[in-house]
A and B are shown apart, each in its own frame.
Chain A
Amino acid sequence: MPKYALYPGCSLEANSAAYAQSIEAVCRVLGIDLVEVDDWNCCGATEYHSLHRLAAAAVIARNLALVDPQLDQLVAPCAACFLNLKKVDHQMAEDPNWASKVNAALAAGGLSYTPGRVKVRHLVEVLHSDVGEEKIRSHVKLPLKGLRVAPYYGCQIVRPYKDVDNTEYPMKLDELMSWVGADVVPYPMKAACCGGHLTQISEDQAYELLRRLLQNAEDAGADVILCMCPMCQLNLDAYQSAVNSRFKTRFRIPTLFFTQVLGLAFGLPLKKLGFGKEIVPALPVLQQKIPAVVASVSRG
């Protein structure tokens, strides 16, 4: 059984419990063993870098240092965590002086990290590239034909590092969803920004970015938007009604984590996939578009 270290990140503990639940359920089906990093700490998101570069890096590096020495791959399902972990590893590898500074800070806690020891991966890469098409297809019990999904990548998984997918028009999640039979719609704004923390500090900017994403998904004829980052999901879902009030729009597009929808295709019961936690309810749409699938997984 392939084994990876898991860095869940703070969002998965609370606001994105549906992501955590569905990741666990889907990985169990696929035989992927995710081992949570013991006593991991918050990665500082995009906030700590604004205050202190070395402290921000050291806080992130503590997590890399805590990865089980038997494991050399670390999966981070959140975009901000993923980039932070990857960036610190890369910057330490590129600059030995910087690496010694980070390690001097870690040493105060009795830890150290050798850059390059852990490869930081996003879950989409693991499912798309390590598990692969054949195996994913072999687990599909209920093909999702009839459900039009808009795969949304956001920013920090596909940028600034260019090795995950295309930085402008990524395709891995599109392909993954097509393997489980969903109707994938072309979503031109799939790698545009959701506004991140701007919903907290500048509504005017954040709501406009969200409006564009929702409009673009609606124009593409999407039934649901699929996210691979907790922040993107939270913004598109929880602030959708605020966007509607602001712009007099009538968006009502459910926003799900891609793992929830994969789980449906694998025939997993709805309650194991965290359905019902989304603010814009998904079930009415799913019942309308893929009634047989919903009937089958509701029994489970």
Chain B
Amino acid sequence: MIDLARTEGNSLLLEVMRGTPKGERLLHCIQCGSCGGSCPNGPDMDYSPRALFALIQAGEREKVLSANTMWVCVSCYACTTRCPQQIPITEILYTLKRISLREGLAKGTDGPALARTFVHYLHNYGRSFEFGLATRFYLFNKPFAMMKMGPLGLKMLSHGRMALLPTRIKNVKQLEAIIQKARELGD
């Protein structure tokens, strides 16, 4: 049984639990550290998932939401499959990304910009468009790195691996209506 008294007054904990399937497993964290130890990027995190979960339970809202942990995560799910307490760690990190973006607390990462640029093409064409994604993302976020990426783009092009024009699905309108409705219904 989950002791729900532990969530009292802790809005972040409740939001994480609501926003994540099986998110209530978070309450079962035993602070073993298997997650951080399994993470290929563990050393680059401000707080390992284990530490982050302790902070969530302690109600340290701002510390948690401005951490780089979730943006360093690349969704390899090694922590999730190894967690002895079956905590859906990767999915919880996705939930934290969403809350941190909503509250404008994500910082020091190009993750949100990449996500937004990627989704921009999905909304407009129904398909991803690498050439556009790379150009737009680098131009607006890291123009200097763009110079370095140029030769790689040319290599991809000369190997027949990059389209210069996007593909558009037939029923973009239908996709738009679905996305619109989903956004109205909430997260």
Instruction: List residues of A whose CB falls within 8 A of some B CB.
Output: 10-11, 13-17, 39-42, 44-55, 57-59, 62, 91, 94-95, 98, 101, 104-111, 155-156, 159-160, 162, 167-168, 192-193, 195-198, 200-202, 204-205, 209, 238-239, 242, 276-279
Taking A17-B160, A48-B115 as contacts, is the C-beta distance between A159 and B81 under 8 angstroms? yes
| Contact in complex: B178, A108 (CB < 8 Å) | yes
- Residues of B within 8 Å of A200, CB to CB, are 110, 114, 134, 137
Least CB distance from B5 to A in Å reads 25
- Residues of A within 8 Å of B78, CB to CB, are 155, 159, 192-193
- Residues of B within 8 Å of A50, CB to CB, are 94, 97-98, 101, 111-112, 115
Least CB distance from A31 to B in Å reads 28
Taking A15-B130, A278-B159, A279-B159 as contacts, is the C-beta distance between A51 and B181 under 8 angstroms? no
Partner of B111, one of A14, A201, A238, A239: A201
CA distance A154 to B177 in the complex (A): 35
Least CB distance from B123 to A in Å reads 9
12 contacts between A and B (CB under 8 A): A10-B128, A10-B130, A13-B127, A14-B163, A54-B186, A98-B21, A105-B178, A105-B179, A108-B181, A109-B175, A155-B76, A155-B77
- Residues of A within 8 Å of B170, CB to CB, are 39
From 156 to 181 in chain B, residues with beta carbon under 8 angstroms from any chain A beta carbon are 156, 159-163, 167, 169-171, 174-175, 177-181
Least CB distance from A173 to B in Å reads 17
- Residues of B within 8 Å of A59, CB to CB, are 122, 175, 178-179, 182
For B, the interface residue count at a CB cutoff of 8 angstroms equals: 63
| Contact in complex: A156, B72 (CB < 8 Å) | no
Partner of A55, one of B94, B152, B162, B182: B182
Taking A51-B101, A156-B75 as contacts, is the C-beta distance between A201 and B110 under 8 angstroms? yes
- Residues of A within 8 Å of B162, CB to CB, are 14-15
Q: Counting CB contacts under 8 A, is B90 at the interface? A: yes
| Contact in complex: B156, A104 (CB < 8 Å) | no
| Contact in complex: A277, B72 (CB < 8 Å) | no
The 0/1 profile, CB within 8 Å of A marked 1, for residues 95-138 of chain B is: 10110010000000111101110110110001111100010010
| Contact in complex: A195, B74 (CB < 8 Å) | yes
- Residues of B within 8 Å of A10, CB to CB, are 127-130
Taking A42-B127, A48-B115, A109-B174 as contacts, is the C-beta distance between A53 and B187 under 8 angstroms? yes
Q: Counting CB contacts under 8 A, is B44 at the interface? A: yes
CA distance A195 to B171 in the complex (A): 33
- Residues of A within 8 Å of B163, CB to CB, are 13-14
Q: Can you name the residue of chain B whose Cβ is closest to the Cβ of A197?
A: B114
- Residues of B within 8 Å of A17, CB to CB, are 160-161
Taking A50-B98, A160-B81, A193-B78 as contacts, is the C-beta distance between A42 and B182 under 8 angstroms? no
| Contact in complex: A44, B122 (CB < 8 Å) | yes
Q: Counting CB contacts under 8 A, is B41 at the interface? A: yes
Partner of B40, one of A159, A160, A209: A209
Taking A10-B128, A55-B182 as contacts, is the C-beta distance between A44 and B167 under 8 angstroms? no
Q: Counting CB contacts under 8 A, is B59 at the interface? A: no
| Contact in complex: A105, B169 (CB < 8 Å) | no
- Residues of A within 8 Å of B156, CB to CB, are 15, 238, 279
- Residues of B within 8 Å of A198, CB to CB, are 41, 74
CA distance A161 to B44 in the complex (A): 26
| Contact in complex: A45, B128 (CB < 8 Å) | yes
Taking A14-B162, A39-B170, A159-B80 as contacts, is the C-beta distance between A196 and B74 under 8 angstroms? yes
CA distance A16 to B162 in the complex (A): 9
CA distance A296 to B72 in the complex (A): 47
| Contact in complex: B75, A104 (CB < 8 Å) | no
CA distance A35 to B139 in the complex (A): 38
| Contact in complex: A14, B130 (CB < 8 Å) | yes
Least CB distance from A7 to B in Å reads 12
